[in-house]
Amino acid sequence: MQPGQVNTRTAGAQAYWRRFFPAAQPQLAPCALSRRTIYILPNRSGLLFAVVLLTLLIGAINYNLALGHALVFLLAALGLVSMVHAFRNLHGLTLAPQRATPVFAGDTAQFELAIDNPTSRPRYALRLWATPELPLEFALAAQHRQTLQVALPASRRGWLELPRVHLESRYPLGLFTAWSRPWPALRLLVYPRPNNHPLPAVSASYAATGPLPSAGDEDFSGLRERQPGDPLRHVDWKAEARNSGSGPLLIKEFSGGSANELLLDWAQTDPQLATEERLSILCGWVLQASQAQQRFALHLPGCALPAGSDESHRLRCLEALALFPA
């Protein structure tokens, strides 16, 4: 057999496979549940139901019960009809990624998804999960849209991608499970698990590196327009009162004052510890420092973040810790 032939055949088979099982990749656009993506099979109750029907049929034949036949056939028809209804309960729903906020390792991440029922019939008893331990049960009214928080335990720092979610329904009779596995593209950052080590002394941080000239909050050096993320306590409220609220908010800028500036350095952590442990310690320091509204800088191998004290600085530091190469 020619190798080329095999290849074309495999390629054909792959194309065929892909046609029915579309490439598994997260989707940014809303995932619509259609007959291609909804699967349906009898579940445990359904199999029990089938066994019961078979027993009833044998009884009806053996005792020659015409109404027994009718009962079995009506139940079987009911089962088949319920299969169509189970499928219909999922058909036409769309699931769209919304947003996700970062969490610390060890916490439970919440991915926000929007589920939309554009049809004129309500949907019942839907279950949605990213992991079967944390299912979400809900119903959807006709022409209704709902945002849902899908939970997923975040165990490791770094990017956490939402895996394929599982949307299933046993409506109406619980004999069939209809399910779909849409994959809305959504990811979030998992910061290292913070460790509650005491902050290093200010002097100690200096001893390690020396002063870093940067914008701080020691001596007043001038005014500038406020930008999102600037702390409110730096707003020049008096100037604001003079303008009687018509102008932009002004921020008082300070310079120098490095005596209180903190340096959080990778080198300060115990080199005996594992990387993750050291990152946890740094993460704890970042949190404590920003809690105390202290200016701090973060130095990691291959990455130095200048000192700052605002929210955006804190997020930058946490991100650097989260994405630190292992």
Binding residues vs another protein (CB under 8 A): 39, 41, 43-45, 48-49, 52, 55-56, 58-71, 73-78, 80-82, 84-85, 87-88, 91, 120, 124-125, 132-133, 135, 137, 139, 166, 170-174, 177, 179
User: Residue 45 or residue 214: which is nearer to another protein going by CB?
Assistant: 45
Closest contact distance (angstroms) between CB of 143 and another protein is 9
Closest contact distance (angstroms) between CB of 131 and another protein is 9
- Torsion angles phi and psi, residue 212, rounded to 5: -120, 110
Cα separations (Å) of 307 from 80, 193, 217, 246, 267?
Answer: 67, 22, 11, 33, 17
Judge whether 61 and 130 are in contact, CB under 8 Å: no
User: Residue 135 or residue 306: which is nearer to another protein going by CB?
Assistant: 135
User: Residue 68 or residue 256: which is nearer to another protein going by CB?
Assistant: 68
Closest contact distance (angstroms) between CB of 16 and another protein is 18
In 3D, which of 252, 231, 236 has the Cα closest to residue 309? 231
Q: Is the peptide bond before 172 cis (omega within 30 degrees of 0)?
A: yes
User: Residue 9 or residue 18: which is nearer to another protein going by CB?
Assistant: 18
Closest contact distance (angstroms) between CB of 55 and another protein is 8
Residue 26, H or E segment: none
- What is the edge-to-edge ordering of all strands in the sheet holding 38-42? 38-42, 176-180, 166-169, 123-129, 136-140
Q: Using DSSP, state whether 153 is helix, strand or coil.
A: strand
CA distance 160 to 182: 17
Sign of dihedral through CA atoms 126, 130, 135, 141? negative
Beta bridge partners of 67: none
Closest contact distance (angstroms) between CB of 15 and another protein is 21
User: Residue 139 or residue 249: which is nearer to another protein going by CB?
Assistant: 139
User: Residue 127 or residue 197: which is nearer to another protein going by CB?
Assistant: 127
Closest contact distance (angstroms) between CB of 148 and another protein is 15
Closest contact distance (angstroms) between CB of 14 and another protein is 19
User: Residue 89 or residue 309: which is nearer to another protein going by CB?
Assistant: 89
